[in-house]
Amino acid sequence: MTALTLLPGTPDPDRLARAWLSVRSEPGDPKVNGLVCEVGAEAAVVRLAAGRVPGGTVAPVRPDPDPRATATAVLDDAARRGLRWACPGDDDWPTALDDLGYAGEVSGRGGAPHGLWVRGALPLAPMTASSVAVVGARASTEYGNEVAGDIAADLAEAGVTVISGAAYGIDAAAHRGALAVRGPTVAVLACGADVTYPRGHDTLLARIADQGLVVSEAPPGDHPTKVRFLARNRLIAALASAVLVVEAAWRSGALNTLNWAGSLHRPALAVPGPVTSALSAGVHHAIRERRADLVTSGADVREALTPLGSPVVEGASGWGRGERRPDDGLDRVARALLEALPATGAIRAAAAAAAAGTTEPEALRVLGALLATGLVERTGDGWRFAGRRGGLPGGAGPRTLPR
């Protein structure tokens, strides 16, 4: 049986196969991920669906007589839940996640995700290209919340996306700091991207999905488990350009995320606190052991993103990383809106919507998000394009982050 016989006539069989893997295997299952690395997603589905499951998988993979039907149903169900499926090969797939493949080989844990379920309209790669994971204790102190919120706001204002886990405490303070300045933020969940967890963060998650993205590799509708929290931490570290821990007790999950940053060669950063606070003990230990560098402010964090003083572009759109074009990875509506905006002068959102073939509310939502990426600017007269098509945004070339 070949991949083509498994999913005949499918326009993108790899995509379908990855969706099947996402709902039929556990996030970060090293055996399943290793099999995908070895034989590819489709061939892996052929074997797993036929019951030929590698030994030592995290959870059983049930045989499936018709994986194509299963995968198609999963995608349909996800769409009804307001989720889209992003996976390797997509224009907006964050190549930073490829690093997990290598880290997985080394450590025997994790590996790259099959894909991510995404709630929110913004493109994934540009939103995470210049980003900092801000994580920490759930039972955080007022001090920790204040510092996490301030640093997140500073980063988001500079166009650096704030990634976190939407948990109580430091995670929520970080997301809120970014939301408060209408900056970019991404929540990575251990449950389905459509599931409200924790329950109290219903409104917060809705705001993040509106202004940024809520993503997860867990199946739509599923609930979090311990192994999924650990698998989620690796995604937060891999998606981010750097990981910052604000408060962490001696055995905090945030330190797990910090260690992933080290394995992935991301800057690992930590905010100190009073030595009399148990919630800073884990942070201080990490700094003492040189597993994290001490930072005190958003400026310190931004400096860590350019450790050699190389010029980087502000904004979440990722051109600091290479020869990406300004509109790489944007969805159809966003691209059409960018095409519709003038580089000098400005047009109203209604005119941009008409030119882009979308509604005015949709245009306003996408333009608001593009504002956070630095690709567009809002003037008194409406909206204008702030990048230079086909080159670096911002007109006069790369800007250095403020020191």
Note whether 284 binds a copy of itself by CB under 8 A.
yes
- Looking at 341-396, list the stretches that DSSP marks H as alpha helix, in order from N- to C-terminal side: 349-356, 360-373
Nearer to a copy of itself, 296 or 310 (CB): 296
Beta bridge partners of 244: 134, 269
Among the candidate windows 79-87, 207-215, 289-297, 364-372, which touches a copy of itself by CB under 8 A?
Answer: 289-297
Residue 150 C-beta: closest distance to a copy of itself, Å: 9
Phi, psi (deg, nearest 5) at residue 347: -125, 160
> Which amino acid makes up residue 100?
L
Residue 296 C-beta: closest distance to a copy of itself, Å: 4
Note whether 245 binds a copy of itself by CB under 8 A.
no
Looking only at the bridges linking them, the beta strands covering 131-135 and 161-164 are: parallel
x-or-dash string of contact with a copy of itself, 111-150, rule CB under 8 A: --------------------------------x--xx---
> Which amino acid makes up residue 252?
S
Note whether 306 binds a copy of itself by CB under 8 A.
no
Among the candidate windows 62-70, 255-263, 277-285, 316-324, which touches a copy of itself by CB under 8 A?
Answer: 277-285
Q: Give kind and range of the element (H or E) at residue 378.
A: strand 376-379
Indicate the burial class of 43 (C-beta count within 10 angstroms; 0-12, 13-18, 19 or more). middle
Q: Which of residues 146-185 bind a copy of itself (CB under 8 A)?
A: 146-147
Q: Which residue has the tokens 């990855």?
A: 18
Do the Cβ atoms of 44 and 17 come closer than 8 Å?
A: yes
**Cα–Cα dist 26/229, whole Å:** 11
Do the Cβ atoms of 385 and 338 come closer than 8 Å?
A: yes
Among 243, 271, 340, 353, binds a copy of itself (CB under 8 A): 271
Looking only at the bridges linking them, the beta strands covering 161-164 and 382-385 are: unpaired
Note whether 305 binds a copy of itself by CB under 8 A.
no
Q: Give kind and range of the element (H or E) at residue 228.
A: helix 226-239
Note whether 302 binds a copy of itself by CB under 8 A.
no
Among 189, 214, 281, 376, binds a copy of itself (CB under 8 A): 281
Note whether 401 binds a copy of itself by CB under 8 A.
no
Please give the angle made by the CA atoms of 41, 44 and 48, to the nearest 5 degrees.
135
Note whether 301 binds a copy of itself by CB under 8 A.
no
**Cα–Cα dist 267/155, whole Å:** 15
Q: Which residue has the tokens 């995604």?
A: 235
Note whether 299 binds a copy of itself by CB under 8 A.
no
Residue 276 C-beta: closest distance to a copy of itself, Å: 7
CB atoms closer than 10 angstroms to residue 275: 8
Note whether 296 binds a copy of itself by CB under 8 A.
yes
Residue 165 C-beta: closest distance to a copy of itself, Å: 22
Residue 366 C-beta: closest distance to a copy of itself, Å: 36
Nearer to a copy of itself, 142 or 323 (CB): 142
**Cα–Cα dist 123/95, whole Å:** 13
Note whether 5 binds a copy of itself by CB under 8 A.
no
Total binding residues toward a copy of itself, as defined by CB under 8 A = 20
Q: Give kind and range of the element (H or E) at residue 214.
A: strand 213-216
CB atoms closer than 10 angstroms to residue 199: 7
Among the candidate windows 126-134, 230-238, 291-299, 368-376, which touches a copy of itself by CB under 8 A?
Answer: 291-299
Residue 185 C-beta: closest distance to a copy of itself, Å: 21
Note whether 294 binds a copy of itself by CB under 8 A.
yes
Nearer to a copy of itself, 44 or 246 (CB): 246
What residues make contact with a copy of itself under the rule CB under 8 A?
A: 143, 146-147, 271-276, 280-281, 284, 287-288, 293-297, 300
